[in-house]
Amino acid sequence: MIDVEDLIALIRNYNPRTNGDLIRAAYDYGRLMHEGQMRQSGEPYFSHPVAVAAILTEMRLDDATIITALLHDTIEDTRASWKEIASRFGDEVADLVDGVTKLTNLQLSSTETKQAENFRKLFMAMSRDLRVILVKLADRLHNMRTIKSMRPDKQVQKARETMDIFAPLAGRMGMQWMREELEDLSFKVLNPEARNSIIRRFLTLQRESGDVIPKISSDIRSELEKADVEADVFGRAKKPYSIWRKMQEKSLAFSRLSDIYGFRIITRTEADCYRVLGVIHTRWRAVPGRFKDYISQPKSNGYRSIHTTVSGRDGKRVEVQIRTRQMHEVAEAGVAAHWSYRDGVRAKNPFAVDPGRWIETLTKSFDEGDHDEFLENVKLEMYTDQVFCFTPKGDVVQLPKGATPLDYAYAIHTRIGNSCVGAKVDGIRVPLWTRLRNGQSVEIITAAGQRPQATWLDIVVTGRAKAAIRRSLREEDRERFVKLGQELARVAFEHVGRKCTDKALRTAARTLGLPDEVEVLARLGSAELTAREVVEAIYPELVSTQADEVDARRPVVGLGPDQTFRRASCCQPLPGERIVGITYRGQGVIVHAIDCPALAEFEEQPDRWIDLHWHSGRHGAVHTVSLNLTIANDAGVLGRICTLIGQQRANISDMHFVDRKPDFYRLIVEVDLRDVEHLHMVLTALEAESDVAQVERHRDLARRPGN
């Protein structure tokens, strides 16, 4: 465990004006509060807060943050209270310690809904004071460094949570060194065989070709000296997890993997950065498509640097990052650079981003939407790199890597996104699913009356665009449900001899506890209400309680006592549809829907027609209907479709594939339904599924009686 004087010495290296007495007081108070407590490794528990404080000194943070690290577990694990800490060390420290305690109690790897709510609390804590997250990240880093003392199942849980949440968060905050270490420590727990394999291959490569890092570093220094450019050069091999991820993403073997070495060139001025770039590209061949200028277009967390990949010594690809000393400080500390101290005063780094503005850009699109959308938005925002595109007027629009013109349109304004019909990139018309690249100019083409399509959800990558599209689709579905509800209500009211007026529907809304008649129609159309429930809310005496369940053997009214019947296979009529019977010798009566094309052949035989109608009341789900489905040929899609149909309380009695293509399947699904309302419920649910390209009722004249 680090001694208090050693800790103060670490702080004085960058902040000679540190309040040593206050640091000592916090150290002594924390040690007293944790006295007798032990870590699972057998060390005194207080060694952990001290180690966290030491990690924060590497970021050159202020006294309040260091003291918070020393006390960050006292409120949770000891008898200490906010009031006592505030009286000893001030409200600022007490609030920070309380914030870290609340974050520690969040179960970020719990169920989706709870996880989304806890993420929201995480971002609220960040918005109050970002230093809370800095302490929490340092706390997680030390826990991962000492994870071997935990139970194996606990190791896996913590490593997965670190890989999914804390490592991306550190990267999003610009602390790339911490992200890489957290990822690699998690990788060591989650996939030790893969990590050891990468390390063994590295050792083999070094034996075969020697340590190329000093050689390439020497080559770069030599070229810079020739050009009379003063700069520092550092080289390193990339972390095992970084290499493993690249192998998985590009499906490459280690032997075919390029740029596994990275080099940083730290210059004196911004102008020198571009001079160094010229030297590098003059001496070595640049790899096309691997150049990024984050100096002219910085990332939102303040990161500035030039990235390029070149074919270096012996044809090996190496990545080179070029930046000034001040840019390098921000690249190392990220958003934490805002609090960095040098020589006892807050460092005035012109590239350090304002934490308040950074939080605002990260959370501005998280205010709307449900839990699932919020969680999706958070994860999308945390994992992404950026590309920078230009409007026709030359303004810069920042988007995540992989963004499309649709994302760009929604980034400008939701109205522009909703009405987008096309896009031009660098003056050329392109499909909406085109992936944008750095520096491209984008022009959006709009049209009045255009509405977002369900397929757009598979095109966009930003949380803002996805939320806006879903919101529009919900509104559009509501309009469709209202229209369907109007028709269902009209038929239901006519069935009891009444008119479906707005006044009647308003009365039904009051009885059912709904805000207005439009909500009644929307719920009726979406099958949240039945037509029977709406009519019964106004005219309970007209709804026969005897007709609750129809006898499945005699669901049709109008047949003679000795007549048998069956539904026509060609049109498969359902209760709620107008029907007619056709007599067949030896087959009894075949019931057709009134609009069935097969009835045309009986126009000259009126004696065979029988006027029929369905019994009122609730029919059983025994009436089979064929649905023609076109679905995406992708893993799990068919299972989801079957589950969706089951959720509508409909049973699949048979299915067969009609056509199989590499991208889509077409199939006929036989579904047992109650009535036409039940059919509308199933069709609506399927139409809303993004993997369903088309769904319609299947009617086959080849199956009509007599064929």
Residues 528 and 575 in one domain: no
**One domain, residues 89 and 181:** yes
Three-state DSSP class for residue 327:
helix
User: 142, 159, 190: which is the final residue of a domain?
Assistant: 190
In this structure, are 224 and 313 located in the same domain? yes
Q: Kindly state whether residues 177 and 205 are assigned to the same domain.
A: no
* Residue 76 bears catalytic tag: yes
In this model, does residue 313 exceed pLDDT 70? no
The predicted pLDDT at position 369 comes to 47
- Of the chain, the end-to-end C-alpha distance in Å amounts to 90
Report, as an integer, the average pLDDT of 535-563.
73
Q: Flag whether 112 is in a domain.
A: yes
Backbone φ and ψ for 565, nearest 5 degrees, come out as -145, 165
**Domain contains 363:** no
Domain boundary among 190, 225, 251: 190
* % of the chain at pLDDT higher than 70: 84
Q: Please state, in angstroms and rounded to a whole number, the distance separating the CA atoms of residues 275 and 552.
A: 86
Q: pLDDT higher for 105 or 317?
A: 317
Long-range contacts of 575-580 (CB under 8 A, 24+ apart): 575/550, 575/614, 575/615, 575/619, 575/623, 575/674, 575/675, 575/676, 576/491, 576/614, 576/675, 576/676, 576/677, 577/614, 577/676, 578/613, 579/612, 579/613, 579/614, 580/609, 580/610, 580/611, 580/612
What value does the mean pLDDT take over residues 205-218?
77
Q: Is the pLDDT of residue 671 over 80?
A: yes
List helix spans (H) across 90-236: 91-104, 112-128, 131-145, 152-161, 167-172, 176-190, 192-209, 212-226
Average pLDDT over residues 501-509: 88
Do residue 563 and residue 532 come from a single domain?
no
- pLDDT value at residue 321: 93
Residues 686, 627 within the same domain: yes
CA–CA distance, 414 with 460 (Å, rounded to integer): 13
**526, part of any domain:** yes
Task: Over range 452-466, report the average pLDDT.
Answer: 85
Q: Confirm whether 46 is domain-assigned.
A: yes
Residue 231 banded pLDDT, cuts 50, 70, 90: very high
How far apart are alpha carbons 198 and 408 in whole angstroms? 38
Q: How many domains are there within the chain?
A: 5
**Does 50 have pLDDT greater than 90?**
yes
**pLDDT tens string 384-435:** 556 778 888 877 787 877 899 999 999 899 999 999 999 999 888 888 989 9
Kindly name the residue from 43, 77, 476, 689 that is annotated as catalytic. Answer: 77
Please, which pLDDT band fits residue 590 given cuts at 50, 70 and 90? very high
**Pair 200, 219 in one domain:** yes
Same domain, 201 and 140: no
- Looking at the predicted structure, is the pLDDT value of residue 332 above 80? no
Tell me whether residue 380 is in a domain: no
Q: Are residues 176 and 201 in the same domain?
A: no
Q: Residue 428: how many CB atoms within 10 A of its CB?
A: 8
* pLDDT the model gives residue 547: 47
CATH of the domain at 331: 3.30.460.10
Residue 551 is assigned to a structural domain of this protein = no
List, for residues 57-79, the tens digit of each pLDDT value. 988 888 999 999 999 888 888 88
From the candidates 76, 84, 161, 476, give the one annotated as an active-site residue.
76
Structural domain contains residue 452: no
Residue-number span of the structural domain to which 244 is assigned:
194-346
Question: Which domain-ending residue is among 566, 595, 614?
Answer: 614
Whether residue 583 is found in the same domain as residue 658: no
What pLDDT does 341 receive? 56
Confidence category of residue 22, pLDDT binned at 50, 70, 90 = very high
Answer yes or no: is 436 within a domain.
no
Q: Which residue has the higher pLDDT, 470 or 234?
A: 234
Same domain, yes or no: 218 and 328: yes
pLDDT in tens, 538-549: 877 666 544 456
Determine whether 502 is an active site residue: no
CATH number for the domain that contains residue 627: 3.30.70.260
Please give the average per-residue pLDDT across 232-249, as a whole number.
81
User: Alpha-carbon torsion 70, 76, 82, 84, what sign?
Assistant: negative
Same domain, 643 and 607: no
What average pLDDT does the chain have?
82
